[in-house]
Chain A
Amino acid sequence: MADEEHGAPAALGEREAARSSNGARRAWSATRGLLVGRPETGALFGAAVMFIFFALRADHFTERSSIAGLMSITAELGIVSMAVALLMIAGHFDLSVGSVLGFSSFLVPFLMLEHGFTAIEGFVTALVVAVAIGFANGFIVVTTRIPSFIVTLGTLLMVRGSLLGLSGGEPARVEQGSWVFRVFSYRIEQDDAIIGGFLEGYQVSIFWFLGVLVVLSIVLLRTRFGNWIFASGGNERAARSMGVPVDRVWVILFMVTAFAAFLTGVIQAGRFNVVEATRGQQYELQAIAAAVIGGARLNGGYGSVLGAALGAFMIAMIQQGLVLLGIASYWLGVAVGALIIGAVILNQTLGRSRPQI
């Protein structure tokens, strides 16, 4: 699509501009300038096309409750995917997020019921444990130089093993009495102040999602740390020679992915009254899929927070859309798989016309 930028469509753009007012011309070229060469462009178009398709073809897809459901999947998967995308831009993988998600989700009720922790103590402990796992991932990667794929595969197994060991495989039951649970997980009612009217039926996880989206986008695009992220993943040696603290960037980002997994974990702990020992299994693959659909490159240096969020949104749409179309989700893998490959092809095509820095 962006290849056309240099060819015929430019002429078309001018003809069109000649016909219309100056204002419209400026708006058009500004829009085009915004879209072309950005990692999330493909995902944005993909998501729009997919949404329109399901809206037209799948009954109930655009109903409030259906959109609310779509957003609760997007919020949880999106939070993890955005963090994973940042790490991928910096050149690393985190396969342990699913296990950390499950462990955080389990730890809160486990500590409360088995060890007499208050809810707030349970949440804080789970947070500390999760971030410590993230730190360990990062620390091992930067000190041993073992590929993060291997290191986090190891922690995936170790954390899941600890969860199975502590729980004996038994689900932990959650007593959601405390307000702390509602901070992470609450279904908005119609008579709630201010937001109740137009967000009834939505989960509050949507606000956490939006918060993470805004914060991580600003960090990536508007701060020096964001530049370091791109530099660390793009060309590590060059980045080091320019004085970028590459190791510190990596360790921090591993802690961010672990924090995101914690956040989704406690959101789930608040909504469901049991945490089974398999919670979060294979979440890491969905998160990487969302990041890739959103334009992140496997070898680093390129990607987008918004793109990963859109990737998660697309995966959620496929899940919901297939159910509403009445297609057995045995076919889900086919759709998501095709989406991943299609997205990478599209992103490569778009990437080729990206101005070289």
Chain B
Amino acid sequence: MSDERDETRKREEEASGLLEQSLSRGSLFRRAAVGGAAGLSLPALLAACGGDDDEEGETSAQTGTTGGTQGGQKLTFYSVTHGETGNVFWAIYRNGIRDGQKVYNVTVKDLPLEQFSVAGYVDLLNQAITAKPDGIFASILDQDAVDQPLRRAIDQGIPVIAVNIPDTRPVGQRIPYLFYVGGDEEAGGRLTGQRQLKEKSSIKHAVCIIHEPGHTGLEARCRGYDAELSDAGAKVDKLPSSKDATQATEQIKGYLQKNTDVDAIFGVGPQPATFALQALDELGKKDVMVSAYDMDPTLLDAMDEGTLVSTIDQQQYLQSFEPINWLKLNVEHGFVLAPGVDMLTGPALVDKSNVAKVREGVEAKFR
């Protein structure tokens, strides 16, 4: 009894999540191909909604007939990423794999790298290529190291989509994968800056707090934020902080005591933002805006309380769900995007206007 209820509730959550993803999909595309993508996502949406009152098997069958499979055999794709199991961010990505398999009636083999090692990652890729799958989506962990194996896969006719980390070289030089599905960190920083300027157009002095100095992605978030606010005439500092909670909080307090005119803070992850909120609370300062990056229930609470202005969602669920959709479309119908066009799943801004909706997604493990 209760199992059935759980199942139904889960379906409803999935459906609402999918609906939401589909509706916001228009904003994902950087350049052209916007209309096409929005249209193509409709079958997914319909299939998901149809699943609401059907048995699981029927859902798959239904979707199967929508797309059609080659020779009656299920397509097999490989997901090869550096996303270790047990990490929240990647758990959401895996939920995208789980749902993508069901919705598009394909088999997806997940090969995560458990211990960070570029050589180990190349081994995983080779393992996937040896299996001669119908498609591969992989993170470009190290563009030089994965260049050779991925080109070999593409030469063998295996379509490849880059996820989460792109090959940063210009089109023509970069690995000729179909396109990249993932976030743009610098754009996320810019978007945060824009959101804060909307709150207060005359920001005087802002600070970007970075808890892992030297981390390429985090530095890019700071860079985007700095660029946006500097253009608006603000002075922007960067405060590299300790990873330790107490040490970071005290450093932020020290910084705020020295720089009493600071009126905007950007923590490049949930931790520095939480520590900044703690520091402001302990100092009794109320007139400083704080924004965060990435998703965390605590951040959503802070937004409800009005202490946090915004955060950024990478929508990593789409970083597995969309490649499954597109690999299938590519294999079966040869669909591609315009050359050089990537699919950006982030940054998506979360603020008080959409926090309630986003919270549903977080609780259902879509975000």
Contacts and interface: CB of A to CB of B under 8 A. Distances in A.
Interface of A: 59-60, 63, 65-66, 69-70, 72-73, 76-77, 164-165, 168-171, 173, 187, 268, 271-274, 276, 278-283, 286, 316, 319-320, 323-324, 326, 328-330, 332
8 A-B pairs with the lowest CB-CB distances in the bound complex, closest first: A69-B250, A169-B88, A323-B254, A169-B87, A164-B86, A329-B240, A274-B298, A60-B257
A274 B240 contact: no
A233 B249 CA distance: 37
B250 A272 contact: no
A69 B245 CA distance: 12
A320 B257 contact: no
A164 B89 CA distance: 13
Contact of A65 (B86, B88, B257, B298): B257
Chain B CB within 10 A, most for which of A73, A268, A283: A73
B246 A329 contact: no
Contacts of A280: 244
B254 A72 contact: no
B250 A329 contact: no
Contacts of B241: 329
28 contacts: A63-B257, A65-B283, A72-B250, A76-B246, A165-B86, A168-B86, A268-B246, A271-B246, A273-B298, A276-B245, A276-B271, A278-B271, A279-B245, A280-B244, A286-B244, A316-B250, A319-B242, A320-B254, A323-B239, A323-B251, A323-B258, A324-B258, A326-B258, A328-B239, A329-B242, A329-B251, A330-B213, A330-B214
A283 B87 CA distance: 21
B243 interface: yes
B91 interface: yes
Contacts of A66: 254, 257
A70 B87 contact: no
Given A273-B278, A323-B239, 15 more contacts: A66-B254, A69-B253, A164-B87, A169-B88, A170-B88, A173-B297, A173-B298, A268-B245, A274-B296, A276-B245, A278-B243, A319-B247, A320-B250, A320-B251, A329-B239
B294 to A, nearest CB: 11
A217 to B, nearest CB: 23
A168 B92 CA distance: 11
B116 interface: no
A60 B244 CA distance: 23
Contacts of A271: 245-246, 249, 278
A60 B88 contact: no
Contacts of A276: 245, 270-271
Contacts of B298: 171, 173, 273-274
A282 B253 contact: no
How many chain B residues sit at the interface, stated as a range, is 35 or more
B274 interface: yes
A272 B249 CA distance: 10
Interface string B74-90: 00000000000011110
A59 B274 CA distance: 26
A319 B251 contact: yes
B257 to A, nearest CB: 5
Contacts of B86: 164-165, 168-169
A70 B250 contact: yes
A328 B88 contact: no
A23 to B, nearest CB: 43
Given A169-B88, A171-B270, A187-B282, A330 B254 contact: no
A328 B247 CA distance: 15
Contacts of B242: 319, 329
Interface string B273-290: 011001000110000000
Nearest to B275: A272
A341 B223 CA distance: 34
Contact of B258 (A60, A165, A273, A274): A60
Nearest to B274: A274
Contacts of A332: 240
A168 B254 contact: no
B204 interface: no
Contacts of A77: 247
A73 B258 contact: no
A273 B305 CA distance: 14
A332 B278 CA distance: 23
Contacts of B87: 164, 169
B238 interface: yes
Chain B CB within 10 A, most for which of A77, A268, A329: A329
A150 B211 CA distance: 29
B207 to A, nearest CB: 11
B335 interface: no
A187 B281 CA distance: 12
B246 A319 contact: no
A281 B243 contact: yes
Contacts of B245: 268, 271-272, 276, 279
A243 to B, nearest CB: 42
Chain A CB within 10 A, most for which of B86, B89, B270, B274: B86
A199 B299 CA distance: 32
A328 B240 contact: yes
A316 B242 CA distance: 11
Given A171-B270, A330-B240, A323 B255 contact: yes
B61 to A, nearest CB: 33
A322 B297 CA distance: 33
B239 to A, nearest CB: 7
Contacts of B240: 328-330, 332
A97 to B, nearest CB: 12
A104 to B, nearest CB: 13
Contacts of A319: 242, 247, 250-251
A330 B211 CA distance: 11
Contacts of A63: 257
B343 to A, nearest CB: 26
B49 to A, nearest CB: 29
Given A73-B250, A326-B258, A272 B244 contact: no
Interface in B211-268: 213-214, 238-247, 249-251, 253-255, 257-258
B215 to A, nearest CB: 12
Contacts of B247: 73, 77, 316, 319
Nearest to B240: A329
Contacts of A73: 246-247, 250
